[in-house]
A and B are shown apart, each in its own frame.
Chain A
Amino acid sequence: MIDERWDDLIQEELDGVATPTDRALLYDRLARDPVVRTAYEDMQRLSSAIREVPREEPPSSLKIAIMNAIGHEPVRQPLPVRMGWWANLRNTFVARPIWGGGFVFTTGLAVGLLLFALVGRSPTLDTQGLTGAMTPAEHFQRVGQKNIDFNGVRGQMETGLSGQGPCLYLDLESAVPTEITVGFLGQANAFRGFHQETPANGQVSVDAGGVRILHQGKNRYLLTEAPAGQSDILVRIRVGDATLEERLPLIR
């Protein structure tokens, strides 16, 4: 427990409002007093921890609702990369049916052509419904499959053997920001390959523990395991404070 005077000074310093005199006093004390130093480091860690709490995007319908309530239709329909394009689309469709229809048609056509060009697969893949069977890669032998319907996230995951080894297909559609972590159990550096169809809807980081995807909108992911012989895969899907865990077999 430190004197409250030092604690106040620490907080003023971390808030950037300490006077030069107070700051000099504090740093002199920090150099000599391990108790004050520990308190300073604790408070510093607290500030960092609060700073690290993610700032969330408001629902795209918020602005539309506000502008409608004051009797003014929004002039612009911003579609930032990480906003829920599905929610935006739905709201546009509700507010301006003709625009919405035109937008849906044009976007669908553009995405279809783009995927066809990039992925080199049949454009029928793009119109694949999430509730139907996923289109597997050639020679894909399915081992496990689960449908997902969790806190606004829908889709399915499918494991099996492709020509490149055990793999996971993950098809997701979500209007809200969703965090997905995937790990091949008990094995670091276990990934051999990663692919996603719509990079704009998924931010991906890979580390020794697994793959972390910040997902929003609709996307299809493919993860291929390194030849380590793992028998299961663990997928965690987190929306806000709620987490869903699914474990699927990779081999029969």
Chain B
Amino acid sequence: MNDLDDKALVTRCRNGETAAFEILVDRYQKVLFNVALRMLHNREDAMDASQTAFVKAYEKLDTYDPTYKFFSWIYKILVNESLNQIAHRKPQDELDSAIMAPGRTPEDEVSEEWVQERVQAAIVKLPLEYRRLVVLRHFGDLTYRDMSLALDLPEKTVKSRLFTARRMLKDLLNQRGAVRA
């Protein structure tokens, strides 16, 4: 059953084979968890969002339109779930702490970790409408078309917002000297 494609697995799930859903979980849990983690910047919240997304997907399998990719559909559920979580959060001051941390010291000059931390912090600083595009493109490896389906946005808008998001990200990182050589 591991060799079956997503659509065949969904068909089996609809016919009552819950074991088929386990394969879908195996296939997508890591990438969905990482997308949620970059959206929410918190492991527990990311775990909750991923879990809820999978369970909701299972419960709504009857509404899934197989002309679309399964992962675009489940990403859509995950992104909505992540946005719900963020909407119910209190402002998190600590999210600012990484980007506002002291600047680069000589010891940091060659530190990959230093750059990675700044990149993660800068992604969190992006407004949500831009953050979700960067996260889906770079952590979910979604194409413009897949993102358009997952976010219910025209492909042209996806592209234009993604490009703007990257410019914002570049500016944020350049302020801290993390990307420019």
Interface string of B54-70 (1 = CB under 8 A from A): 11001100000000000
B80 within 8 A of A: no
By a CB distance below 8 angstroms, the chain B residues around A78 are 26
A129 within 8 A of B: no
A53 adjacent to B116 (CB under 8 Å): yes
Option from B30, B50, B51, B178 in Cβ contact (under 8 Å) with A49: B178
Option from A17, A59, A67, A69 in Cβ contact (under 8 Å) with B47: A59
B119 within 8 A of A: yes
CB nearest neighbor in B for A239: B43
B125 within 8 A of A: no
Assuming the contacts A56-B37, A66-B51, A66-B55, asked whether A49 and B166 have C-beta atoms less than 8 A apart, the reply is: no
By a CB distance below 8 angstroms, the chain A residues around B112 are 52
By a CB distance below 8 angstroms, the chain A residues around B144 are 15, 17
B117 within 8 A of A: yes
B22 within 8 A of A: yes
B34 adjacent to A55 (CB under 8 Å): yes
By a CB distance below 8 angstroms, the chain A residues around B55 are 66, 69-70
Interface string of A32-64 (1 = CB under 8 A from B): 000000000111011101111111111101110
A56 adjacent to B25 (CB under 8 Å): no
A8 within 8 A of B: yes
Minimum distance in angstroms from B112 CB to a CB of chain A: 6
Identify the interface centre among A8, A41, A45, A49: most chain B CB within 10 Å of its CB. A49
Identify the interface centre among B120, B123, B144, B166: most chain A CB within 10 Å of its CB. B166
Minimum distance in angstroms from B126 CB to a CB of chain A: 12
A65–B58 Cα distance when bound, in Å, is 13
Minimum distance in angstroms from B60 CB to a CB of chain A: 12
- Residues from 25 to 42 in B contacting A, C-beta threshold 8 Å: 25-26, 29-31, 33-34, 37-38
B139 within 8 A of A: yes
Minimum distance in angstroms from A46 CB to a CB of chain B: 5
CB nearest neighbor in B for A54: B116
B4 within 8 A of A: no
A139 within 8 A of B: no
Option from A56, A61, A72, A241 in Cβ contact (under 8 Å) with B22: A72
B22 adjacent to A74 (CB under 8 Å): yes
List A residues at the B interface (Cβ < 8 Å): 7-8, 11, 15, 17, 41-43, 45-47, 49-59, 61-63, 65-67, 69-72, 74-76, 78, 176, 179, 238, 240-241
Q: Top 6 A-B pairs ranked by shortest CB distance?
A: A58-B33, A72-B18, A66-B54, A50-B138, A69-B55, A70-B58
Known: A41-B181, A76-B22. 17 other contacts (CB 8 A): A11-B163, A45-B181, A46-B169, A52-B115, A52-B119, A55-B31, A58-B47, A58-B50, A59-B47, A62-B47, A63-B29, A65-B51, A66-B54, A66-B58, A67-B21, A67-B25, A176-B43
Can you give 13 contacting A-B residue pairs, CB < 8 Å?
A15-B137, A42-B179, A45-B179, A46-B166, A46-B173, A47-B138, A50-B119, A53-B116, A58-B47, A63-B26, A67-B18, A72-B21, A76-B22
